[in-house]
Amino acid sequence: MSDLILRHCSVRGLPQPVDIEIADGVIRDVAPVIQREAAQEIDCTGKLVTPPFVESHIHLDSVLAAGQPHFNESGTLFEGIQIWGERKGSLTREDVQQRALAALKLMASHGCLYVRTHVDVTEPRLIALDALVELREQVRDWMTVQIVAFPQDGIYSRAENEALLDEALKRGADAVGGIPHYELTREDGVRSVQHIFDLAEQYDRLIDIHCDEVDDDQSRFVEVIIAEAIKRGGGARVAASHTTAFGSYNDSYAYKLMGYIRRTDVNFIANPLINITLQGRTDSYPKRRGLTRIKELWQNGVNVSLGQDCIHDPWYIFGTGSMIGVAYMTVHVSQMTGLQEIDACFDMVTENGAKSLHLQDYGIKVGNPANIVVLDAPDAFSALRYQVIPLYTISRGKIIASNTPAQMNVSIS
Ligand code: FE2
């Protein structure tokens, strides 16, 4: 007897409902009718059953720290950096782990079981990095966490930062990060991208670079990432995060750049919740949306996935842990309101995220870990329309979160 069978599941991409059988934490069978019995069975008639949501980009070291020591009243990136600078000095391992764990639980309750986090490695003690490496192992039984060593202040802006990034990789970061547009000069930015690719080769790590997260149409480090990926290959292991300046480039340059991007498998990760609020702050009107060209990248067959970036931290005061909320916002700010486009936004927080994170065992397939989410909606469109909270989050075959939808009683005749 198996452990759990989900009956009559609607699964995206399958023409008819299926039963899903789970045993020993693994998907044992997927078929229109499974005759065997299980210790527990759930009727999923009319429910969308999906692989888990994927959070492609968050900063777990700063989550749930809003208001510490004070709130960001201007709403700008720079006040956020200043507040975080004040907070960073008092970080402890327990403090980071406590907040990050609370955020991971929140995300799991919203059906998210894969998380890529950046962690600031320009803090000389590397407290947050060590804390998150330890936490990554502690939560391994129910959550997959990838850690990007992120030199928040730049690799070359201070003498010790280059060595700190190297040390972070030695201590177990999964990916090399960077912030070329925040290096002191254009030349340092270019050099930083080349150095990141060298480190990734040296340590056999993935790459995820905060890139061009400004409104400046002259911030052009995406082209440097793409050039390195063309010359060296391996673009599928590379992600360019934020890339908001791409939304400000002139169309002629954007057209040329898109052609180069198509020659690689580089992934793009957008964070619409935060960037719609942070960017365009120095504009009067018309005011830019501060978002990368999500729709056009998608139309060009480029893999685009999404992140929250922040949950209640010095940069962004809101944040629920819901990737459905992120996809919903993306539909709006990138004007992807066609039915196919809405469906594509759901892909961006599921399948596309798995691609960005370079996951090898993602999806509802026999032999994969039984990581499955049951939604109180018949399809992806309805899930976004009503911004549902999952009925069940199943991780490694175990139900780790469940939710009873609120009952609204209306007595208008
Ligand atoms: Fe970020």
Across the range 35-51, mean pLDDT stands at: 97
Report CA(299)–ligand 1 centroid distance (Å).
24
- Residue 77 CA to residue 152 CA, distance in Å, equals 12
Structure tokens at 128: 């947050």
Tokens 């018309």, located at residue: 286
pLDDT reported for residue 243: 98
Is residue 81 scored above 90 in pLDDT?
Answer: no
User: Which residues are CB-contacts of 92 (< 8 A; sequence separation ≥ 6)?
Assistant: 127
State the chain's mean pLDDT as an integer: 97
Is residue 407 scored above 90 in pLDDT?
Answer: no
* Contact criterion met (CB below 8 Å) for 290 and 246: no
Report CA(209)–ligand 1 centroid distance (Å).
9
Report CA(47)–ligand 1 centroid distance (Å).
33
- Residue 10 CA to residue 380 CA, distance in Å, equals 10
Is residue 405 scored above 90 in pLDDT?
Answer: no
User: Which residues are CB-contacts of 278 (< 8 A; sequence separation ≥ 6)?
Assistant: 75, 76, 77, 80, 290, 315, 316
Cα distances from 116 to residues 146, 179, 260, in angstroms, run 5, 17, 26
Q: Does 213 participate in catalysis according to the annotation?
A: yes
Please tell me the CATH superfamily of domain 53-356, with its number.
Metal-dependent hydrolases (3.20.20.140)
Going through 228-381 in order, the beta strands assigned E by DSSP cover 238-242, 267-270, 304-306, 372-375
| Cα-to-chain-centroid distance, residue 374 | 20
Report CA(149)–ligand 1 centroid distance (Å).
12
Question: Please, which pLDDT band fits residue 413 given cuts at 50, 70 and 90?
Answer: confident
Report CA(128)–ligand 1 centroid distance (Å).
16
Question: Rounded to the nearest 5°, which phi and psi values hold at 157?
Answer: -80, -20
Exposure string of 148-177, with b = 16+ CB inside 10 Å and e = fewer, is bbbbbbbbbbeeebbebbbbbbeeebbbbb
pTM reported for the whole predicted model: 0.97
pLDDT reported for residue 187: 98
* Contact criterion met (CB below 8 Å) for 313 and 63: yes
* Strand-pair category, 26-31 with 18-23: antiparallel
Is residue 188 scored above 90 in pLDDT?
Answer: yes
* Contact criterion met (CB below 8 Å) for 127 and 91: yes
Report CA(312)–ligand 1 centroid distance (Å).
14
pLDDT digit string, tens, across residues 157-186: 999 999 999 999 999 999 999 999 999 999
Structure tokens at 146: 């990838």
- Residue 399 CA to residue 403 CA, distance in Å, equals 11
Is residue 1 scored above 90 in pLDDT?
Answer: no
Across the range 224-239, mean pLDDT stands at: 98
Amino acid at 333: V
Please tell me the CATH superfamily of domain 2-51+364-402, with its number.
Urease, subunit C, domain 1 (2.30.40.10)
Q: Residue 204's CB: how many other CB atoms inside 10 A?
A: 8
Is residue 269 scored above 90 in pLDDT?
Answer: yes
User: Which residues are CB-contacts of 165 (< 8 A; sequence separation ≥ 6)?
Assistant: 121, 149, 151, 155, 176, 199
Q: Which residues is 146 bridged to in the sheet? A: 116
- Residue 82 CA to residue 16 CA, distance in Å, equals 53
| Cα-to-chain-centroid distance, residue 286 | 29
- Residue 147 CA to residue 116 CA, distance in Å, equals 6
Is residue 318 scored above 90 in pLDDT?
Answer: yes
Helix-, strand-, coil-residue percentages of the chain, each rounded to 5: 35, 20, 45
pLDDT reported for residue 408: 86
Report CA(403)–ligand 1 centroid distance (Å).
30
Is residue 406 scored above 90 in pLDDT?
Answer: no
* Contact criterion met (CB below 8 Å) for 225 and 235: no
Across the range 30-47, mean pLDDT stands at: 97
- Please classify residue 122 by burial: count the beta carbons closer than 10 Å to its beta carbon, then call 0-12 exposed, 13-18 middle and 19+ buried: buried
- Residue 203 CA to residue 221 CA, distance in Å, equals 23
| Cα-to-chain-centroid distance, residue 111 | 13
Question: Which residue out of 123, 183, 213, 351 is catalytically annotated?
Answer: 213
pLDDT reported for residue 147: 99
Q: Where are the domains of the chain?
A: 2-51+364-402, 53-356
pLDDT reported for residue 321: 97
Report CA(390)–ligand 1 centroid distance (Å).
26
pLDDT digit string, tens, across residues 350-393: 999 999 999 999 999 999 999 999 999 999 999 999 999 999 99
